[in-house]
Amino acid sequence: MRIGVLTGGGDAPGLNAAIRAVARKALADGNEVAGVRNGWAGLVRDQGVGLIDPHQVSGVLAVGGTMLGTSRVNPLSDESAMAAVIDHFRSEGLDALIAIGGDDTLSVARALSDRGLPVVGVPKTMDNDLQVTEYCIGFDSAVAIVTEALDRLHTTAAAHHRVMVVEVMGRDTGWVAVMGGLAGGADLIVIPEFPVSLQDIVAHLRSRRERGRDFSIVVVAEGARIDGLAEATAETGPRDAFGHLLLSRRGVGPQLADGIETETGFEARVTVLGYTQRGGAPTAYDRIWATRVGAAGYDLAVSSEFGRIPVKRGDGIATAELAEVVAGQRRVPEDLYRLAEVFY
Ligand code: F6P
């Protein structure tokens, strides 16, 4: 059996661990693994597949990024691109495909599966917001980076008695902001699920000063809409191939820091953590989880359970339909958001 594997969308620490798990299991079973270059781009444009040998997956467990490359190319935007994917899948002699990605990549996988292509998924997004699964590859590493940054920012914020705004990733949901903020002792967390206005934020920072807290750490998810900050509620600007606004250009963090300084007179600074949250080595948790879920994706492929995806449920792995996982976003529940408020 020749099994293709690709990684699509934004990279995340742990992708190489998942590819390694697929390859090691396949090679042990006497199957072939073909690495598809650069996500869906590799099959739309037939960038060729390379058979993965044991040496290529040696030493990659601790390495960030993805040895296969990735892209945000979207074959769903054009019927001829979908046809090209199917043609190239066949001409490369693939018997199955494992697509490792988030909602965009997996939406394509689901559409291909609906057209009869033997595809399975593996959940990856450092945003950690896919439905059904309780965890996605890359999230723990992102939270660890945010936590370390908040620890470092605390000392400089305290020394200068400043408001430190920290912008983190999170397009539609605030998982990275809430978990990073809880771990790093944030004094306010602003996320898409629970909108607040600039005036709410200002009132909270004033009340902290009145309580003798002369510095504050505000964590804001890049996708947060803040009433009172015109630019940070705008829906215009450059978009990616899946139609998403490029939030790194929208700049909610810098605008919030400006708004706070103007409204309160408190000295404010901003740190945009950006792509540091996706770069570098995976944590131990991500290495282990990516190994388990990558191996489970391989098991689905060899047992011909196409159109399905392994998911985290409790401490174990269950499987679900691809269609369920891409049906919407898993949002931060109110109890977790309110727990963070206790420490403000
Ligand atoms: O999908 C994960 C994510 O990290 C989002 O939080 C972020 O908005 C997006 O990727 C940015 O990715 P890129 O700039 O690589 O398209």
pLDDT in tens, 293-316: 999 999 999 999 999 999 999 999
Could you give phi then psi for residue 72, rounded to 5 degrees? -110, 25
In terms of domains, do 134 and 256 share one?
no
Ligand 1 center from residue 10 Cα (angstroms)? 6
Q: Is residue 62 part of a domain?
A: yes
For position 248, what pLDDT does the model report? 84
**What 3-state class would DSSP assign to 40?**
coil
Q: Is residue 298 part of a domain?
A: yes
The Cα 125–Cα 102 span in angstroms is 5
Please give the share of the chain, as a percent, with pLDDT higher than 90: 93
CATH for 63: 3.40.50.450
Ligand 1 center from residue 157 Cα (angstroms)? 27
Ligand 1 center from residue 53 Cα (angstroms)? 31
Type of residue at 71: S
In terms of domains, do 173 and 221 share one?
yes
Q: Of 222, 250, 279, which closes a domain?
A: 279
**How much is the mean pLDDT over the chain?**
96
Q: Is 335 among the catalytic positions?
A: no
Q: Report residue 5 as tokens.
A: 């594997």
Three-point CA angle 106, 110, 112, nearest 5°: 115
10 lines ligand 1 (CB under 6 A): yes
Model confidence at 237, pLDDT cuts 50, 70, 90, reads confident
For position 56, what pLDDT does the model report? 96
Residue 167 to residues 60, 89, 156, 245, 247, Cα–Cα distance (Å): 30, 40, 17, 16, 11
pLDDT at 254 over 90: yes
Q: Is residue 344 part of a domain?
A: no
61 lines ligand 1 (CB under 6 A): no
- Taking Cα atoms as reference points, which of 147, 175, 153 lies closest to residue 165? 153
In terms of domains, do 271 and 150 share one?
yes
Tell me which residue has its CA closest to atom 13 in ligand 1. 10
Tell me which residue has its CA closest to atom 8 in ligand 1. 171
138 lines ligand 1 (CB under 6 A): no
The whole-number average pLDDT for the span 174-179 is 98
- Contact yes or no for 192/223 (Cβ under 8 A): yes
In terms of domains, do 291 and 275 share one?
no
Residue 113 to residues 44, 82, 85, 98, 120, Cα–Cα distance (Å): 16, 12, 12, 11, 8
Q: Is residue 343 part of a domain?
A: no
Q: Is residue 181 part of a domain?
A: yes
For position 209, what pLDDT does the model report? 97
Ligand 1 center from residue 173 Cα (angstroms)? 12
Residue 16 to residues 27, 84, 109, 151, 227, Cα–Cα distance (Å): 16, 26, 20, 28, 40
In terms of domains, do 273 and 147 share one?
yes
pLDDT digits (tens, 9 = 90+) for 18-60: 999 999 999 999 999 999 999 999 999 988 789 999 999 999 9
Q: Is residue 31 part of a domain?
A: yes
The Cα 7–Cα 91 span in angstroms is 20
Tell me which residue has its CA closest to atom 3 in ligand 1. 10
In terms of domains, do 167 and 260 share one?
yes
pLDDT at 233 over 70: no
Model confidence at 232, pLDDT cuts 50, 70, 90, reads low
Tell me which residue has its CA closest to atom 9 in ligand 1. 10
In terms of domains, do 228 and 321 share one?
no
Q: Report residue 194 as tokens.
A: 């629970």
Type of residue at 291: T
What is the number of the ligand 1 atom nearest to the C-alpha of 244? 8
Pocket test for ligand 1, best of 173, 248, 272, 329 (most atoms within 8 A of CB): 248
| Helix (DSSP H) and strand (DSSP E) numbers for the chain | 12, 11
Q: Is residue 171 part of a domain?
A: yes
Tell me which residue has its CA closest to atom 12 in ligand 1. 10
In terms of domains, do 58 and 133 share one?
yes
pLDDT at 270 over 80: yes
- Contact yes or no for 125/102 (Cβ under 8 A): yes
- Contact yes or no for 6/100 (Cβ under 8 A): yes
pLDDT at 142 over 90: yes
In terms of domains, do 96 and 17 share one?
yes
pLDDT digits (tens, 9 = 90+) for 83-114: 999 999 999 999 999 999 999 999 999 999 99
CATH for 267: 3.40.50.460
- Taking Cα atoms as reference points, which of 164, 162, 158 lies closest to residue 267? 162
In terms of domains, do 245 and 145 share one?
yes
Ligand 1 center from residue 302 Cα (angstroms)? 31
pLDDT at 235 over 80: no
- Contact yes or no for 1/96 (Cβ under 8 A): yes
Give the contacts of 29 (CB within 8 A, at least 6 positions apart). 302
Q: Is residue 17 part of a domain?
A: yes
In terms of domains, do 240 and 317 share one?
no
For position 277, what pLDDT does the model report? 98
Catalytic-labelled residue, pool 103, 127, 140, 187: 127
- Contact yes or no for 324/119 (Cβ under 8 A): no
Structural domain for 63, as ranges: 2-138+282-325
What is the number of the ligand 1 atom nearest to the C-alpha of 247? 8
In terms of domains, do 273 and 150 share one?
yes
Q: What total number of domains does the chain contain?
A: 2
Ligand 1 center from residue 83 Cα (angstroms)? 27
Tell me how long the chain is.
344
72 lines ligand 1 (CB under 6 A): yes
188 - beta bridge partners?
A: 218
312 lines ligand 1 (CB under 6 A): no
